[in-house]
């Protein structure tokens, strides 16, 4: 088996003509720039771009295949240099079984199947050109459509307070909404990790994924996983999600949940920490209290057998490192090639040759999850404490 670094949740902000796809995505986040950044700067081996149902994105993919920049792989996926690109789609459901909108991810093995899926989905959404659109059919019908095309179906960022399976203020079970047999994995989201998620017994049957949900080029690979496969292809990814024939998720690399925007319960107006049962902010009196992921999981926790899972490494992205500005980052990339090489291959003694000792020490702590963190919440990221903390 070979090791592959994989981020399966990357958005497209705009098409090459400037048309919006993910409205909240950066204008610079195009298909071509996402592919180039993920491969050349980040050093990823496989990515999923989850706005490929958009007809203009499909056209651009077809043209890149025509010019030879992309090539279709026999086992599914598209080859871009030495990186594999899996076409995907993020969709919003809110049928009678949901208690609020839920985002899900669908991945297809070929661009032709994505084209077929887009044509089917266009009959159920108001604007097929945009990302994360509300689909006016039930979740199980959507699951069957994805599976009929040989696709993968994954509930997205399942604990975030907005637009997720568990992110509501009321009890909700996966089986109330989905056919559990048609779920291939579960994406955790930035404010949770394996230890938190495995407190929910009904998730014991599913592989956990850690993806970036990147809305800009810089956010690509802020969370990712190392997957053991024979090659980077759709069929090998499918086997890895199922733990078949020696393929598997080997390591999840994600933010310490304290860095997530929704880890703790806070007032959305003044960002002060609040008790989970508060309805009014104790500081400013606002009624806009956003329940934190950590408290939400405590509400949902249930007893059950916990399967053996891969390690979850609380790796702090390089952009969070105090003192690591653009010039020092450029020096690191010139020396080591990609961010994956900086995080996984560069020895500490070699880092010292490129950046000041304090920055090198921060990087070494960041990639092993030993940095001290101040918790985030209410839409504000946590942050790395910048005081001396080298251990």
Whether pLDDT at 188 is above 80: yes
Whether pLDDT at 390 is above 50: no
pLDDT digits (tens, 9 = 90+) for 303-342: 566 788 999 998 888 988 888 999 999 999 999 999 999 9
Rounded CA-CA distance 86/237 in Å is: 10
Whether pLDDT at 391 is above 50: no
Rounded CA-CA distance 253/290 in Å is: 26
pLDDT digits (tens, 9 = 90+) for 214-273: 999 999 999 999 999 999 999 999 999 999 999 999 999 998 777 666 767 777 777 766
Whether pLDDT at 133 is above 90: yes
- Comparing C-alpha atoms, which of 105, 67, 74, 63 is closest to residue 87? 105
Average the pLDDT over 277-281 and give the result. 71
Average the pLDDT over 113-127 and give the result. 98
In the chain, the domains with their CATH numbers are: 2-257 (3.20.20.140)
Average the pLDDT over 64-80 and give the result. 98
pTM, to two decimals: 0.90
Q: Quick one: pLDDT band at residue 92, thresholds 50, 70, 90?
A: very high
pLDDT at 350: 97
Percent residues over pLDDT 70 in the chain: 87
Q: Which of 43-57, 178-192, 258-272 has the lowest mean pLDDT?
A: 258-272
pLDDT at 75: 98
Output the average pLDDT for the chain.
89
Q: Which of 79-83, 257-261, 347-351 has the lowest mean pLDDT?
A: 257-261
What kind and span of H or E run contains 107?
A: strand 102-107
pLDDT at 327: 95
Residue 216: is it exposed, middle or buried by C-beta count within 10 angstroms (0-12/13-18/19+)? middle
- Alpha carbon 387 to its chain's center: 30
Rounded CA-CA distance 385/256 in Å is: 13
Contact (Cβ atoms closer than 8 angstroms) between residue 239 and residue 247: yes
Percent residues over pLDDT 90 in the chain: 68
């Amino acid at each position: 088996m070979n090791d592959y670094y994989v981020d399966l949740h990357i958005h497209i902000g705009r098409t090459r003509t400037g048309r919006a796809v993910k409205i909240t995505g950066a204008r610079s986040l195009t298909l071509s720039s996402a592919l180039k950044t993920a491969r050349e700067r980040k050093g990823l081996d496989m990515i999923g771009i989850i706005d490929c149902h958009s007809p203009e994105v499909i056209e651009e993919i077809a043209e890149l295949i025509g010019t030879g920049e992309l090539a279709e792989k026999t086992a599914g996926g598209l080859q871009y240099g030495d990186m594999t690109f899996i076409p995907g789609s993020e969709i919003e459901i809110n049928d009678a079984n949901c208690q609020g909108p839920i985002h899900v991810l669908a991945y297809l093995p070929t661009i032709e199947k994505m084209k077929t899926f887009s044509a089917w989905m266009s009959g159920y959404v108001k604007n097929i050109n945009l990302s994360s659109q509300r689909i006016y059919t039930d979740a199980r019908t959507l699951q069957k459509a994805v599976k009929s095309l040989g696709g993968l179906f994954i509930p997205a960022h399942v604990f975030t307070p907005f637009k997720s399976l568990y992110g509501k203020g009321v009890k909700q079970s996966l089986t109330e909404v989905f056919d559990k047999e048609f779920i291939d994995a579960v994406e955790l989201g930035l404010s949770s990790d394996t230890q938190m998620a495995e407190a929910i017994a009904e998730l014991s049957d599913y592989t956990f994924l850690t993806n970036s949900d990147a809305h800009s080029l810089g956010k690509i690979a802020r969370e990712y996983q190392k997957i053991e496969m024979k090659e980077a292809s759709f069929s090998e990814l499918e086997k890895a999600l199922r733990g078949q024939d020696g393929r598997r998720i080997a390591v999840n690399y994600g933010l310490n949940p304290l860095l997530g925007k929704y880890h703790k319960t806070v007032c959305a107006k003044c960002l002060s920490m609040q008790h989970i049962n508060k309805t009014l902010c104790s500081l400013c009196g606002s009624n806009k209290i956003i329940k934190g992921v950590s408290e939400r999981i405590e509400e949902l926790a249930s007893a059950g057998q916990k399967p053996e899972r891969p390690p979850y490494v609380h790796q702090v992205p390089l952009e969070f490192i105090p003192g690591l500005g653009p010039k020092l980052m450029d020096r690191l990339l010139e020396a080591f090639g990609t961010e994956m090489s900086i995080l996984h291959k560069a020895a500490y003694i070699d880092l010292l040759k490129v950046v000041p000792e304090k920055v090198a020490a921060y990087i070494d702590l960041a990639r092993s999850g030993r940095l001290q963190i101040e918790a985030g919440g209410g839409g504000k990221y946590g942050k790395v404490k910048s005081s001396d903390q080298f251990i």
